[in-house]
Amino acid sequence: MKAKLAIPRLSAVKKVTGIQYAALPYRIVAGGAQILLITSRRTRRWIVPKGWPIEGLRPHDCAGVEALEEAGACGEVGESCIGTYRYVKHSKRGFSVPCSVEVYALRVTQLRRIWTEKHERDRRWHSIEEAAAAVEEPMLRLLILRFGNQLAP
């Protein structure tokens, strides 16, 4: 006897949306503002440090934790969200979750030589224009350019 597979109807599938918090690490140098980007672990594309909410921490504090763990960046995190963007997170297990990411500015005062995810990611300083061109998400690209305009003298 063959077992029947249960195939869910589309209307029965629940759509799940995640919220994440990101840091936009930056510094001001003689040539202008720079943004610190990191590579994603799997696809190696340029992204900002981000992650899921951490119980007991405020959103901007979560962003600071992610910057430290993923980029080794420490500094002053702004308490106000500077913008949001959306992307689809693809898991190793094969499922995808649409995510809304709240971004918080992080003025970097220290870069650690050793950090939690050093052996999993690359990090690199970019000019505002280079950073905007390097990221794939259109809304993140615009957010970086807007932020750069706010920093311009």
- Per-residue pLDDT for 138 more than 90? yes
> Cα–Cα distance between 42 and 56 in angstroms, integer?
29
Please give the structure tokens belonging to residue 6: 């249960």
| Locus of tokens 């249960």 | 6
| Locus of tokens 């080794």 | 72
Q: What is the pTM of this model?
A: 0.86
Per-residue confidence (pLDDT) for residue 17, from 0 to 100? 66
Q: What is the pLDDT of residues 36-56, one digit of tens each?
A: 999 998 889 999 999 999 999
pLDDT range class, residue 139, cuts 50, 70, 90: very high
Q: Mean pLDDT throughout 94-100?
A: 88
Q: DSSP per residue over 90-121, as a string?
A: EPTTS-EEEEEEEEEEEEEEEE-SS-TTTTT-
| Locus of tokens 């959306």 | 86
Per-residue confidence (pLDDT) for residue 152, from 0 to 100? 74
| DSSP bridge pairs for 23 | 104
